Amino acid sequence: MSDLLEKIDAREWFYSYELPDGERTRTYHRGELDSIHNTRWEMLRRSIQNRFQGDYSGLRVLDLASHQGFFSVKMAQLGFGEVIGIDARASHVEDSSMIAELYGLDQVSFRQADIHSLDAQSLGQFDVVLMLGLLYHLENPIGALRTCRALCRDTCLIETQIVPGITGQVDFGSYEFVRPLKGTFGLIDETGETHGPEASITGICLVPSLDGLMWVLDRVGFSDPSVLPPPPDAYEQLRHGKRVMVAATV
């Protein structure tokens, strides 16, 4: 067995990757989360196919919160010319780089950064920006969506948990000055879990309601945000609208 395969074999994985001998990487969830990954890839793939009609070679992709590289690798295998994955955790950058090397995907690279301090100018713009499974782990989700907008020159796909919203009118300083609520953010505590591989890095998470997310996307400069329909056999959270994948263009 090569050194690279030995290293891959010694680790536990969030994603089930096929290995050259036909075996798969050992996941720490015993396959229980394969369905959420596969559903999201299917939704993403269909949306990309509709938008770009299969001609991907001249296009750049940015995968924000790339974790161990699943969506970056899939996009490269689909034929995108350049894919950059960014994650706050150094161990994920190491793991995903090993998988890209295993598959011989020279067009993919990974780097470590916090989305809240990304230098958007030095990265340039991307035809596709992915922000899957990240927004609801952030303490500044609106700032992160502004960053997505700055980095995007065509399509952004955001996949996130959402919270139930409240609607109504708010006396905004006086009963004579009343404003409608545009959405809601739920505050979630991950402060005890920041060591976890999927968690927030600060532990303070603001999770949007669906109307809030759609309104913010419009306000930060995206056009026509739309919720993608989940397939009939989708992972339950996507099927029941507890999490959504939204496509927005610029």
Spell 71-108 as b/e; 16+ CB within 10 A means b.
Answer: bbbbbbebebebbbbbbbbeebbebbbbbbebbebebb
To ligand SAM, the closest distance from the beta carbon of 216 in angstroms equals: 17
Quick one: which segment of 72-80, 112-120, 210-218, 229-237 binds ligand SAM (CB under 6 A)? 112-120
To ligand SAM, the closest distance from the beta carbon of 214 in angstroms equals: 20
Cβ neighbour number for residue 211 with a 10 Å cutoff: 16
Q: Where are the beta strands (DSSP E) in the chain?
A: 60-64, 82-87, 108-112, 126-132, 152-161, 169-174, 177-180, 185-189, 204-208, 223-227, 243-249
Binding residues with ligand SAM: total (CB under 6 A):
18
Whether 228 contacts 45, CB under 8 Å: no
214 residue type, one letter:
M
63 vs 134: CA distance, rounded Å? 11
Does position 67 interact with ligand SAM (CB under 6 A)? The reply is: yes
Does position 200 interact with ligand SAM (CB under 6 A)? The reply is: yes
Does position 65 interact with ligand SAM (CB under 6 A)? The reply is: yes
Does position 89 interact with ligand SAM (CB under 6 A)? The reply is: yes
Helical packing angle, 34-52 and 70-78, nearest 10°:
40
Using CB under 6 A as the binding rule, the residues of this chain from 201 to 220 that contact ligand SAM are 201
Does position 87 interact with ligand SAM (CB under 6 A)? The reply is: yes
To ligand SAM, the closest distance from the beta carbon of 171 in angstroms equals: 35
Does position 198 interact with ligand SAM (CB under 6 A)? The reply is: yes
Does position 160 interact with ligand SAM (CB under 6 A)? The reply is: no
To ligand SAM, the closest distance from the beta carbon of 45 in angstroms equals: 14
Using CB under 6 A as the binding rule, the residues of this chain from 162 to 181 that contact ligand SAM are none
Whether 170 contacts 147, CB under 8 Å: no
Cβ neighbour number for residue 221 with a 10 Å cutoff: 14
- CA gyration radius for the chain? 19
To ligand SAM, the closest distance from the beta carbon of 83 in angstroms equals: 13
Which helix or strand (DSSP H or E) is residue 142 part of? helix 141-151
Q: Which residue is nearest to ligand SAM (CB)?
A: 133
Quick one: which segment of 17-25, 147-155, 177-185, 198-206 binds ligand SAM (CB under 6 A)? 198-206
Interacting residue ranges for ligand SAM, rule: CB under 6 A: 65, 67, 70, 87-89, 92, 114-116, 132-134, 137-138, 198, 200-201
